[in-house]
Amino acid sequence: MRQLEVALIGAGLIARLHLDAWIGAGAAVRVYSDDGRAADMAREFGARAVDSLAEALDGANVVDICTPTDSHHEIAMAAIAAGVGVVCEKPLAATAEEAEEIVAAAARAGVRLYPAHDVRFAPPYARLHELVATGGIGEGAVGRFFFSAYHPRPWTGHKSARSGGILTDQMLHGVDLAYWIFGDVVRVHAYYQGEIATPAPEGAVATGTAVLTHASGALSQVISRWTATPKPPVRVSFHVSGTGGTVSYDSEWPQEVRIADGEAGNFGYAGESVFVTEMREFAQAFAGGPEPRLGARDALAAVRITQAAAESAWTGRAVELSVKGAA
Amino acid sequence: MKVAVLSFAHERAETYVRLLRDMPGVDLVTADPDGAAGDPVRGRAMAERLGVSYVDSWDEVFASGVEGVVVTSEVDRRRELVDLAGEAEAFVLCEQPLATKEADVKAMVDACDIGGVRLTVASPACFSGAFAAVRQGIADGVVGTLTTVHGSYHSTPSGRGEVDGGALASNAPFLLDLVDAVLDGEPAEQVYAQTNNVLSGHPGVESAALVTVRYSSGMVAAIDCGWSLSPPNGPAVTFVGDRASVEYDASPRLLGGYDAATGTARWEPGGADPYAVMLKDFVSAVDNGQWTGPDGAAGLRTLRIIQAAYESAQTGQPVDIG
């Protein structure tokens, strides 16, 4: 089988993680970034840097968009026009309208479109989904989804609070999981607090608090936080309840390997990186294998729900979503 | 000290009776004139089973010089009993909810004020030493500025859903009272709530409730207070500040393991017995006038939030509290 040719756009932290994962999945990668950082990153991973988006797309099977959100639409539309498959870092686009355009264009062109919602590839969430989908909790009643993390670098850009801050950024993870587990969302309410507008400094502190009402009648509470310190750097947990019992998870529970005491530097073991699992699944799909666990519909739903959360926090009203087509 | 338990209607009445019966220095009397004759868990039969003294009417209780009363009657009889306690100048520990109507709660607060006695709400998690430490820590600034509280408390389906009513009214107070204590009575400004009846199966009996409350300082509390098939636990509440966050769990795990007799995982809860702590606190409040725990005004603030939550769940929009 011919090696998958991936055009990776961007050279930030996410681009590095994706690049490593693509190489692990056996892809050949060319990197383009308009910030001059592509060459160094490409050299480090044994990839190839190119000088323009057009050059990157030329002959590529897949574009992987790891640039700031505002540029996703333009790059995705260029790739779709060139018949190149699309992987896009979340969120797919800065607005629901842009996301809808991308999804519609990809469908018309017959181009595969996969959003990089990496947490769906984390074992506890994958298992939760499997349990719920196979009736393990009976009829779903309520889910609570918590994400907190330290923001390791300054938050760039110039966005007002109206654009949603943490609600359209980190909260997408929790929203995506709630949608994956309980399906379509018809009503969204959210509050946000703390550093909502950008730019914001490293270690910016913010909280988003959302309630989602699903078409099935199930309810989700999603709480998303940027924490004041990197202790711990990331914490995720959930609790899901239904007529057949409950399921819960907390990343603070001991796993296969943990530091029992003392300072052990960066030593640790977390199993296979979610990005490796994710890019391997995408690569197999682009090579004609089975469809991955998420696609264009999920990308659009996540954008629509998080945009509704932003609108709710800004207006102080709950926002109704129509089930048709998306959320 | 003479203390009375008024009515055996509430499922917790028996717990209170046992605890007070065994407390040194407490002379316990009970009355349950509203219980159906012949019901083994009501009236004189129940008192005899528990080995405590019993009188046949409320008047007899209040004529006996009680200094403190625990009100565990049906919800719609609570106001009448609290009014009588106020007149008799007896301190009151009243089960949740105090009443279902704001006017009734106000009247209960007034009755106790006039009597010069305290009306304390039976919200057990508020009385623990652990919660006092959390409250003090937050007041001392250990989390920085408190911005967000999220917490959960679940009850198991009783099978009497239509009798007991929904999860919002019965469970939310246990969480809202904790928030109210930490916020020192700061009023709520806006409430959003969604409910469903997936577990109850009864329209009109909500078995799931998510409530988000914004307080006047901008502090946000998000709670989950529905039924759950998990064994009862909590309340568990996380207090988030701009510098750190603190988790409080009123029933943490003390011991784990496996129980071959039931074929299930062993889970022995730790922490203090909240009912014992609450009653001890109540008795010392009667004795020396020093109390902790939510008062009638706190009960009123909580009731307003719950009423707004029901309205919000119905309209699908946030409700402002004036």
How many C-alpha atoms does B283 have within 13 Å on its Cβ side? 23
Residue B90 vs residues B1, B34, B85, B225, B227: alpha-carbon distances, Å:
11, 21, 5, 32, 35
User: Closest approach of chain A CAs to the CA of B277, in angstroms?
Assistant: 29
Q: Residue B20's closest CA among B5, B8, B9, B32?
A: B5
Report chain A residues whose CB lies below 8 A from the CB of B243.
228-229
Contact A207 B218 (CB under 8 A): no
Give the span between the Cα atoms of A238 and B59, in whole angstroms.
Answer: 52
pLDDT, greater one: A18 or A154: A18
Give the residue from B224, B237, B253 with the most A CB atoms within 10 Å of its CB, the best one to mutate. B224
Q: Decide if pLDDT at A83 tops 90.
A: yes
pLDDT 10s digits, A149-174: 998 888 777 788 888 889 998 999 99
Contact B210 A225 (CB under 8 A): no
**B313 interfaces chain A, CB cutoff of 8 Å:** no
Give the span between the Cα atoms of A139 and A135, in whole angstroms.
Answer: 7
Tell me, what's the pLDDT at B322?
78
Report chain B residues whose CB lies below 8 A from the CB of A207.
147-148, 220, 240
Min mean pLDDT across A76-80, A89-93, A156-160, B92-96 is at A156-160
Q: Is A276 helix (H, G, I), strand (E, B) or coil?
A: helix
The position carrying tokens 């920085």 is B144
Q: Note the ipTM here.
A: 0.91
pLDDT 10s digits, A264-273: 888 888 889 9
Token pair, residue A133, equals 């989908």
- pTM for the whole structure: 0.93
Residue A126 vs residues A42, A216, A253, B111, B184: alpha-carbon distances, Å:
31, 21, 17, 57, 42
The position carrying tokens 């990005």 is A275
**B207 interfaces chain A, CB cutoff of 8 Å:** yes
Q: Is A209 helix (H, G, I), strand (E, B) or coil?
A: strand
Q: Decide if pLDDT at A326 tops 50.
A: no
Q: How far is CA B33 from the centre of its chain?
A: 23
Give the residue from B153, B200, B240, B314 with the most A CB atoms within 10 Å of its CB, the best one to mutate. B240
Instruction: Provide φ and ψ at A127, rounded to 5°.
Output: -70, -40
User: pLDDT tens, position by position, for chain B (322 residues)?
Assistant: 999 999 999 989 999 999 999 999 999 999 999 988 888 999 999 999 999 999 999 999 999 999 999 999 999 999 999 999 999 999 999 999 899 899 999 999 999 999 999 999 999 999 999 999 999 999 999 999 999 999 999 999 877 665 667 999 989 999 999 999 999 999 999 999 999 999 999 988 999 999 999 999 999 999 999 999 998 778 999 999 999 999 999 989 999 999 999 999 998 888 888 999 999 999 999 998 888 889 999 999 999 999 999 999 999 999 999 7
Tell me, what's the pLDDT at A285?
96
Average pLDDT of the residues in A294-301: 97
Give the span between the Cα atoms of A4 and A25, in whole angstroms.
Answer: 9
Nearest-by-CA chain B residue for A195: B242
For chain B, counts of helices (H) and of strands (E): 10, 17
pLDDT range class, residue A64, cuts 50, 70, 90: very high
**A224 interfaces chain B, CB cutoff of 8 Å:** no
Torsion of CA A181, A182, A185, A186, to 10 degrees: 180
What separation, in Å, do the N-terminal and C-terminal C-alpha atoms of chain A show? 37
Q: Decide if pLDDT at A185 tops 70.
A: yes
User: Closest approach of chain A CAs to the CA of B192, in angstroms?
Assistant: 8
**B195 interfaces chain A, CB cutoff of 8 Å:** yes
Min mean pLDDT across A53-67, A71-85, B284-298 is at B284-298
- Give the H or E element holding residue A320: strand A319-320
Q: Is A83 in contact with A77 (CB distance < 8 Å)? A: no
